[in-house]
Structure 1
Amino acid sequence: MMRKKWISLLLFCVITVCCNAQTVGYKFYSQLDTVKKSGFYNIELPPALTAHLKTDYSDLRIVNDSGKWVPHVLHFPTSEVVNDAINFDLKYTQPENNKVNTSLIIVNSKNVISNIGLVINNTLAERFCTLSGSNDSKNWFVINDSILIDPKPAATGTANTFFIAFPPSNYRFFKIVIKNNNKDPFEIRRIVQSSTAVLPVSYQTKSFQNPPVAIVQKDSGKISYIKISQQQPYHFDNISLNLSGVKYFSREADLYIPVGNNHSFSNPGQLLHSFIISNNSTLQFKVPFSNATIFYLIINNEDNLPLKVEEVNTTVNPHYITSYLEKDNNYKLILGNELATFPIYDLSNIYTKISDSISLLSAGNATAFKENSITVKPVKNNKWILWSAIFAVLFILLLFTIKMVKEVDKRKQDDSL
């Protein structure tokens, strides 16, 4: 009987240690709303949470009351594309194609479309464009007045297709005007429409804007140095600028990310991205994904007066996780573990895209675990406490030893009888 009790106690300790092992090392948690019905849920990840995550989201987990991981799938809606899309060629004319603008008039033979694909010869250049619709090719109505075209070179072949997604429209004609800013135009081979090119959520989602940044600017010679500091390591993949000082301008700008703690205007770090800032652009730029707390913007003014950077905003496209959650159970997100790696769940091979019909479950603010926020204060002259604890432990061990010896002697006497 005594042996069974010891085995049960040992199993309980092992299970407790295993549960704790799945949450150890995580610095923050976020409580999820109550699950009122069992099923799949989408959980949005706002800046208040992503500021505590690595940029690959490998240190994000959903846990239940027992501290055990609950499988989830990570989603990047704006980049999710259906693999088996069917493309249809669209008729078009090109009334203008020069270093100022490239204009495309597209004929829509279908009733409703929500995307137009530009088949472009491989290039690393980027351009902004506008999209309008018309029923008579004379009176035009805006659909989107700021679209970044950033084609990714095809892994095989010499051309790739860049899709412009927009709300479903039934205009008979569409007009795309690409702003070339006195640079060579794209070579556009064809224009297509895809039956399922981009997930519907791509044009419905809006970017998260991060909290305001601090700006320090230094103008020296022909260069303007701008240091931008975020309040926390918020994720961002877009930046927007508010400039003043000169009415007409077109200048090269470089974005740098510091490497290590030793950085300055003269040593800004590693080049992340280069782009052109001009008065006839939206001054909104897509940049490689980053969570740098500090970054530098270097503007080449040449022989012109420097620009004044009034405001810098960083934004990030929304990210979600999808998980199957049970009714009336309590769940929370745990995050912030530098040693964490990607979990391997069966769910990633079963459920691969977000559906509009899935309910959205909100997450609370990030809260630090208590064990990570406790500060141990040094106490002077506390050796007597340590020695007292050691003697107490030795005394208890001595009592157990004496008791065990007595029980062994008693058993020997009983056996001899």
Structure 2
Amino acid sequence: MMKPNLRMNKILTLTALCCGLMLSASAQQNFKYQATLPKVDSTGFYRISLQPAFVAKAKADLSDIRIVDAKGNFIPYIQAGSLPQKDQKSFVVFNQVDAKLSTDTGTTFIVENKTGLALDRLWIRLQNTAVQRKVNLVGSDDLKQWFAIQEDIPLQEAVVNSEGTYMQSLSFPASNYRYLKLLVNDKNKTPIKFLQAGVYTEYAATFSYVPVSPVQLTRIDSNKTTFITIKLQDNYQVNKLHLNITAPKYFKRDVSVYQVNGHDKQLLGEEELNSTKATDLLIAAKTNQLIVQISNGDNLPLTITGIDAFQSAESLISYLDGKQTYRLLAGDQSVQAPEYDLKFFTDSIQGNTPQISHEVVNQNVAYQTKQPAKADRDYTVFIWIAIVVAAGLLLFLTLKMTKEVKKKAGEKKD
């Protein structure tokens, strides 16, 4: 006959497994899209390239991306740009600027991007701290008008060390603002201490983009101004626009780029088109429509044969098992960026990490089966009912086992 303790342990294990599977399945159902990863040859770290079609389905900060195995477990990853650089000599410290505005609340730290390069990573050095804070990153070219780049970026806690300081990489859509401001929401809390901010020049030199296509253009030349509307087939992340200008030979025009989302029109930045340098516009957009406004003055409009859109290269690094199959999930607006222990072990990742890419993006089957057949039905409630029933069963069996144990203990005393 099975002992009460052994029987109870098996019941607890089975109940916990059932609840875990139901919660895992429920979590996966919240993601609208998926993309299968190819099976890797051997176990180890892999760099997973995120194609524009997948990034278009994710949140602007990519915080809703998850890697899931065949059992439904979420697999830890880090963004590739967060890897520490080995050559400390290539680190360029940005000058700190003292220009806090009266509208700022919380700790602010402003630096000048003196490299003039487009950046999608900023390394910051902080005094050791074990508190949790989030930071907003904004950019400006004149220290007066500021534009949002990335919001709610989590600051890491210090890794155990004896130096008293630590480095963290902030990831954001590629931008070339002259000034970058970190704004920490620590109102009514003790502030944290920023020491430095800068970039690794070797990383900036290898900055790369991937094309976003197709691009549909509509042009209007009116009242000394050219308006070009760029329409994309999805809500793509766009970090660079390249204008193919064939005439005139010499030109210098002011240009503004706007992002259109529904009825809202947001200014992304103001730049200059100059025949003496590359005709690239560096922006940070997540949209399916952009407007490029070119001021011609008394000059003839520019002859533009086409505009190419690009996304900055995005990739994840994760430790994958050669015996497992994996998928990427995205499309859950309610989730926050995951916090994995892997961020503390980046030194274990080698520079020659094998690179893979996901397959075609499609609807997450789990999400489709979750959708209600009618507008007034929501099957999520049935999942929670099942969990409550399982918990009730567990409580009933626990009480029953307890009574049996007490009864047998009383019999032994008699």
TM-score where L is the length of structure 2: 0.59
* Equivalent in 240, 246, 249 of residue 238 of structure 1: 240
Q: Is the 8 A contact 2:36 2:327 kept in 1?
A: yes
Q: Specify whether residues 250 and 23 from structure 1 end up closer, same or farther in structure 2 by C-alpha distance, changes over 3 A only.
A: same
Amino acid in structure 2 at the alignment position of 1:262: H
Match of 1:221 in 2: 223
Task: Tell me the SS of whatever aligns to 2:62.
Answer: coil
Q: Specify whether residues 312 and 30 from structure 1 end up closer, same or farther in structure 2 by C-alpha distance, changes over 3 A only.
A: same
C-alpha distance in structure 2 between counterparts of 1:353 and 1:206, whole Å: 24
C-alpha distance in structure 2 between counterparts of 1:353 and 1:316, whole Å: 29
Amino acid in structure 1 at the alignment position of 2:262: N
Q: Does 1:32 align with 2:37?
A: yes
Q: Specify whether residues 124 and 226 from structure 1 end up closer, same or farther in structure 2 by C-alpha distance, changes over 3 A only.
A: farther
Q: Does 1:72 align with 2:96?
A: no
C-alpha distance in structure 2 between counterparts of 1:261 and 1:308, whole Å: 29
Q: Does 1:291 align with 2:296?
A: no
Match of 1:207 in 2: 209
Instruction: Give 1:72 deviation, angstroms.
Output: 0.5
Instruction: Give 1:222 deviation, angstroms.
Output: 1.2
- Counterpart mapping for 1:238-277 below 5 A: 238-258=240-260, 260-262=261-263, 269-277=265-273
* Equivalent in 276, 280, 285 of residue 280 of structure 1: 276
Instruction: Give 1:298 deviation, angstroms.
Output: 0.8
Q: Is the 8 A contact 1:126 1:149 kept in 2?
A: no
After superposition, give the CA deviation of every residue in 1:140-198 in whole Å (9 maximum; x if it has no partner): xxxxxxxx98655698xxxx9987xxxxxxxxxxxxxxxxxxxxxxxxxxxxxxxxx44
Task: Tell me the SS of whatever aligns to 1:291.
Answer: strand
Work out which of the two has the higher radius of gyration on C-alpha atoms and give 1 or 2: 1
Q: Does 1:314 align with 2:309?
A: yes
Match of 2:360 in 1: 365
C-alpha distance in structure 2 between counterparts of 1:149 and 1:291, whole Å: 17
Instruction: Give 1:366 deviation, angstroms.
Output: 0.9
After superposition, give the CA deviation of every residue in 1:221-248 in whole Å (9 maximum; x if it has no partner): 1111111111112212111101245332
Amino acid in structure 1 at the alignment position of 2:88: A
Match of 2:68 in 1: 63
C-alpha distance in structure 1 between counterparts of 2:356 and 2:113, whole Å: 39
> Is there any run of 5+ residues in structure 2 with no aligned partner, and where?
98-110, 118-174, 183-195, 375-414
C-alpha distance in structure 2 between counterparts of 1:206 and 1:353, whole Å: 24
C-alpha distance in structure 2 between counterparts of 1:8 and 1:280, whole Å: 70
C-alpha distance in structure 2 between counterparts of 1:227 and 1:352, whole Å: 45
Amino acid in structure 1 at the alignment position of 2:222: S
Amino acid in structure 2 at the alignment position of 1:300: S
After superposition, give the CA deviation of every residue in 1:10-50 in whole Å (9 maximum; x if it has no partner): 54541321221331210111111112212111111121221
After superposition, give the CA deviation of every residue in 1:311-348 in whole Å (9 maximum; x if it has no partner): 11111221211111122111111111111211111111
Match of 2:351 in 1: 356
Instruction: Give 1:273 deviation, angstroms.
Output: 0.8
Match of 2:299 in 1: 304
Match of 2:163 in 1: none
C-alpha distance in structure 1 between counterparts of 2:356 and 2:85, whole Å: 25
Task: Tell me the SS of whatever aligns to 2:28.
Answer: coil
C-alpha distance in structure 2 between counterparts of 1:68 and 1:358, whole Å: 23
The Cα RMSD (Å) is 3.9
C-alpha distance in structure 1 between counterparts of 2:366 and 2:176, whole Å: 48
Stretch deviating more after TM superposition (10-19 or 273-282): 10-19
Amino acid in structure 1 at the alignment position of 2:346: Y
Task: Tell me the SS of whatever aligns to 2:71.
Answer: coil
Q: Does 1:46 align with 2:57?
A: no
Match of 1:85 in 2: 88
Amino acid in structure 1 at the alignment position of 2:213: P
Task: Tell me the SS of whatever aligns to 1:351.
Answer: helix
Task: Tell me the SS of whatever aligns to 1:37.
Answer: coil
Match of 1:18 in 2: 23
- Counterpart mapping for 1:80-229 below 5 A: 82=85, 85-86=88-89, 152=179, 197-198=200-201, 203-204=205-206, 206-229=208-231
> Is there any run of 5+ residues in structure 1 with no aligned partner, and where?
88-114, 129-147, 164-196, 264-268, 379-417
Instruction: Give 1:125 deviation, angstroms.
Output: 8.7
Using the aligned pairs only, state the percent identity.
23
Amino acid in structure 2 at the alignment position of 1:242: N
Amino acid in structure 1 at the alignment position of 2:240: N
Match of 1:383 in 2: none
Instruction: Give 1:353 deviation, angstroms.
Output: 8.9
Match of 1:327 in 2: 322
Task: Tell me the SS of whatever aligns to 1:52.
Answer: coil
Regions of 4+ moved over 4 Å: 3-12, 115-128, 148-155, 160-163, 201-205, 371-378
C-alpha distance in structure 2 between counterparts of 1:47 and 1:261, whole Å: 21
C-alpha distance in structure 1 between counterparts of 2:282 and 2:177, whole Å: 9
Instruction: Give 1:297 deviation, angstroms.
Output: 0.7
C-alpha distance in structure 1 between counterparts of 2:17 and 2:59, whole Å: 34
Q: Is the 8 A contact 1:254 1:275 kept in 2?
A: yes
